[in-house]
Amino acid sequence: MGNSLTCLPKKGARGASRTGSKRSQRSGRNTASEEEMIHRQALAMILQQNQLSQRFDGSMSRRIGSTSSRRKNLSESATNGKLTAELIGNMETKKFVLVHGEGFGAWCWYKIISLLEEAGLQPVAVDLKGSGIDHTDPNSVTTMAEYAKPLLDYLQNLPGDEKVILVGHSFGGACVSHAMECFPEKISKAVFVAATMVSDGQRPFDVFSQELGGTEMFLKESQLVSYGNGGDRSPTSFALDKQHVKALYLNNTPPKDMALAAAAMRAVPLRPMMERVVLTGHRYGKVRRYFVQTMEDRVLSPDTQERLVRVSPPQGVYKIKAADHCPFFSKPQALHKILLEIALLT
């Protein structure tokens, strides 16, 4: 495949030449500068979570304007979350591949998997590298290609001309974008659920950083960052505080799912989040995109989500009222019906 080299994890070169010592020194200074930048950005993200958690803790509500849904009319069977054999037969694909966001795993999609299966479709959820039940240490995951490898492997192994609908949540949206660049011929549609729908050359972190504003960074916050390569190097993973998760990610989520998330969420590899994603019009641009906005989201605000769709307009935008950042927990039926509608679009 012509673009495969950019879609696979790269191994580091060994044995640098001694003749380029000056160049190596300059490279070392650049690396140190990059390490410091990543360190500061990681601390900024931690502080932002802490501040937002305090801001939204308790019964505070946020005014967000109109929450009207831009839905197209569906047949009665699809609106009820069920599909007839005729409707299923007319679909380009029945397969959904569900891609989790930062800290989550394939487990977070359990309600959506059940609903899609009941509708006669074929959902699959993947664990990204270092997530869910994947045994990889998150601190060892250094690139987007490595982080998304389980998804890329799944797409590469699809038989013949079979296609899937990709669904990405939060940071998983960047992984979906990367997969679209690698395997556009394998993807029928891509759905971004409160996700980092990045533009070419943008880092997934840039989407989250729009929420930061002008924050002061304090070293006391660094206990939530792990330094897998030593304290003098840049941080390698970021732990999501359980109280912050409840206040920011799960503000409208049922208690049982809160308990599940608190027990199952893992640290987030930082390097892939800081990597600039390369997207081209003739590959990524070939796949139809849809965005699902979550209207009571405290991680990616409705304003930030609206900005994402203005910068890179998708084919369709859907809004879910009273949905927090995790609609697969807080509003699974509404998300399910949107996925059915998108699957039926031709």
Q: What is the dihedral of CA 233, 174, 126, 288, to 10 degrees?
A: -170
Residues 6+ apart with CB under 8 A from 331: 252, 320, 321, 322, 323
Residue 95 has pLDDT above 80, yes or no: yes
More confident residue, 13 or 200: 200
Q: What is the mean pLDDT of the chain?
A: 80
Residues 222-231 have a mean pLDDT of 63
Residue 62 has pLDDT above 80, yes or no: no
Residue 8 has pLDDT above 60, yes or no: yes
Residue 291 has pLDDT above 70, yes or no: yes
What gap in Å lies between CA 119 and CA 51, rounded to an integer? 41
CB-based contact 190:289 (threshold 8 Å)? yes
Strand 316-320, strand 288-294: pairing: parallel
Q: What angle do CA 133, 136, 138 make, to 5 degrees?
A: 100
Of all residues in the chain, the percent with pLDDT exceeding 90 is: 60
Three-state secondary structure string covering 106-125: HHHHHHHHHHHHHCCCEEEE
Residue 14 has pLDDT above 50, yes or no: no
More confident residue, 168 or 212: 168
Residue 194 has pLDDT above 90, yes or no: yes
Domain locations along the chain: 95-202+241-344
pLDDT of residue 160: 87
Active site residues: 170, 297, 325
Residues 160-178 have a mean pLDDT of 96
Residues 6+ apart with CB under 8 A from 283: 3, 180, 181, 182, 184
pLDDT of residue 236: 84
CB-based contact 64:232 (threshold 8 Å)? no
More confident residue, 292 or 206: 292
Q: What's 81's DSSP letter?
A: T
pLDDT of residue 228: 67
Q: What is the pTM of this model?
A: 0.78
Residue 307 has pLDDT above 70, yes or no: yes
- Say whether domain 95-202+241-344 belongs to CATH 3.40.50.970: no
Residue 24 has pLDDT above 90, yes or no: no
Q: In the structure encoding, which two tokens stand for residue 117, read together?
A: 């299966």
Residues 133-156 have pLDDT tens digits of 999 999 999 999 999 999 999 999
